[in-house]
Amino acid sequence: FCPTGVLTIRTNMDEVWAALADKDTRVVAQIAPSVRVAAGDAFGLPKGTNAMGKIVAALHRMGFDEVYDTSYSADLTIMEESAEFLDRVANGGKLPLLTSCCPAWVKFVDTQFPEFKENVSTCRSPQGMFSAVIKEYYRDPAHAEGKKTVVVSIMPCTAKKMEANRPNSYTKGEKDTDIVITTTELIRMIKNFGIAFDKIEPEACDMPFGIGSGGGVIFGVTGGVTEAVLRRLAEGHDTATLEAIANCGIRGEEGIKEAVVPYNGIDVKICVASGLANARKVLEQVKSGEKEYHLIEVMACRRGCIMGGGQPIPAGPRSKAARAKGLYDADGSMVIRKPNENPLMDVFYNGYFKGKAHELLHNHE
Ligand code: SF4
């Protein structure tokens, strides 16, 4: 308790309970990749356990109508960001391309390095993309069936609450993400509801948006976005190709990592940074001409979203390593590893959402 209120963090759990209690509301959840390897900490599961199936089951018990994995829209992010990157390279666009998944990093560029604002990808974050897609789907009266839709996003940090309120997080004048709760708020809700999380049987996500690739899952750890982009750009999908990408220098918990990857006759220079002190160092080096890159991935939290401020604490060295391993293990056990091989990507681009990618998946200011 902070007597001055300075340290008070507003929770959004009551808004979720209210939406769940309204029978005229369809409540749809999306769960960020990093949440699955941290939520189990609060229920005595071994560190880094992938508890995604249990989280899905718990949300179903609470009354959520549909539960999805944000790795679906992480795949969309890779499709769009890769296309944007190739377009900038081919047509002399602003380089290096800076990733836009982390709202704290985007805010950092806005306020500390405004000269790099045009370098930031126009792609919405996976949270923003997924919410816009869900809301668009249920704008169709044939899908809505007379119900209002509320999107609840379960994320590893409070920066995602700020992102959901940004002016560019609205589509057709409507807020895309209605409510954001952190992993710790999710844990409190599970406990308040009386669910025996350690005993609940895992359940699968719902359809029509319930498939994500392994590339989407590793978004939760530093270097994961870049690895997914490289998978997208690679021709093959055999084990040797995926291992070569994993070992090119972008994995590991160092705060700044570099890699050079040949692609279509150019040596693509990549930097992966986590932690804003490291990001500052990288941008200063680019500004001074000391370093030159084509692509820079930044996550504001050291080691990425697995260590987000909304995740259970304390998380010592054992937790940090276990959470990263948990995501890589989850990726390794998946049938679809490359975002572009997710069958729902074809459904998105050539089916119901055909022609809507720019409107739904990009920031417009
Ligand atoms: Fe949030 Fe940290 Fe992930 Fe950025 S890196 S999205 S601040 S958890």
Give 78-122 pLDDT, tens digit per residue: 999 999 999 999 999 999 999 999 999 999 999 999 999 999 999
Residue in the block written with tokens 């599961």: 45
Nearest CA to ligand 1 atom 4: 102
Is 0.85 exceeded by the ipTM?
yes
Residues with CB under 6 A from ligand 1: 102, 104, 156-157, 159-160, 299-301, 304-305, 308
Digit-coded pLDDT (tens) for 49-66: 999 999 999 999 999 999
Count of domains forming the chain? 1
- Ligand 1 atom showing the smallest separation from residue 311 Cα: 8
pLDDT at 8 > cutoff 80: no
Digit-coded pLDDT (tens) for 225-257: 999 999 999 998 899 999 999 999 999 999 999
Q: For residue 326, what are its two tokens?
A: 């948990």
Ligand 1 centre from 90 Cα, in Å?
A: 31
Ligand 1 centre from 35 Cα, in Å?
A: 12
Ligand 1 centre from 155 Cα, in Å?
A: 9
List the CATH number of the domain containing 251.
3.40.50.1780
DSSP 306: G
Residue 2 resides in a domain: no
Four-CA torsion 51, 75, 325, 106, nearest 10 degrees: -100
Nearest CA to ligand 1 atom 3: 305
Residue 271 resides in a domain: yes
Residue 274 resides in a domain: yes
Ligand 1 centre from 211 Cα, in Å?
A: 23
**Radius of gyration for the chain, computed over Cα atoms and rounded to the nearest angstrom:** 20
Angle between helices 276-288 and 103-112 (to 10 degrees): 40
- The C-alpha atoms of residue 292 and residue 230 are separated, in whole angstroms, by 19
Residue 301 resides in a domain: yes
Residue in the block written with tokens 């990618």: 357
Domain that holds residue 93: 13-361
Residue 91 resides in a domain: yes
Ligand 1 centre from 275 Cα, in Å?
A: 10
Residue 78 resides in a domain: yes
Q: Is omega for the bond preceding 202 within 30 degrees of 0, making it cis?
A: no
Where does residue 61 rank: exposed (0-12), middle (13-18), buried (19+ CB within 10 A)? middle
Residue 5 resides in a domain: no
Residue 6 resides in a domain: no
Nearest CA to ligand 1 atom 1: 157
Q: Which of 163, 299, 323, 327 to mutate to test the pocket of ligand 1 (most atoms within 8 A of CB)?
A: 299
Sorted by sequence, the CB contacts under 8 Å of residue 95 that are 6+ apart come out as 88, 89, 119, 293, 294
